[in-house]
Amino acid sequence: MIAAFIFILILMTAFTLRRKNPRVTLVLFGVSMVCVTLLFLHHATDRLGLSF
Partner 1 sequence: MNTLHGWQRVSFVLLHVYVLGVCGVVLGAMAVQFVGKELPCPLCMLQRMAMLLAALGPMFIIKQTSVRGSDSKVDQSIGFGMSIIASVLGLFISGRQVLLHILPDDPGYGEAVFGLHLYTWAFIVFSTILLVSGLSLMFSRFMTVSKSLDRMGPASRVTVWVLRITIAANVISVFTESGTNWFLPDNPVQYELIEEFKEFLRSRSSADGAQKAS
Residues in contact with partner 1 by CB under 8 A are 1-4, 6-8, 10-11, 13-15, 17-20, 22, 25-26, 29, 32-33, 36-37, 39-40, 42-44, 46-47
Burial of 4 (0-12, 13-18, 19+ CB in 10 A): exposed
Which residue in 49, 37, 30 sits closest to 2, CA to CA?
A: 37
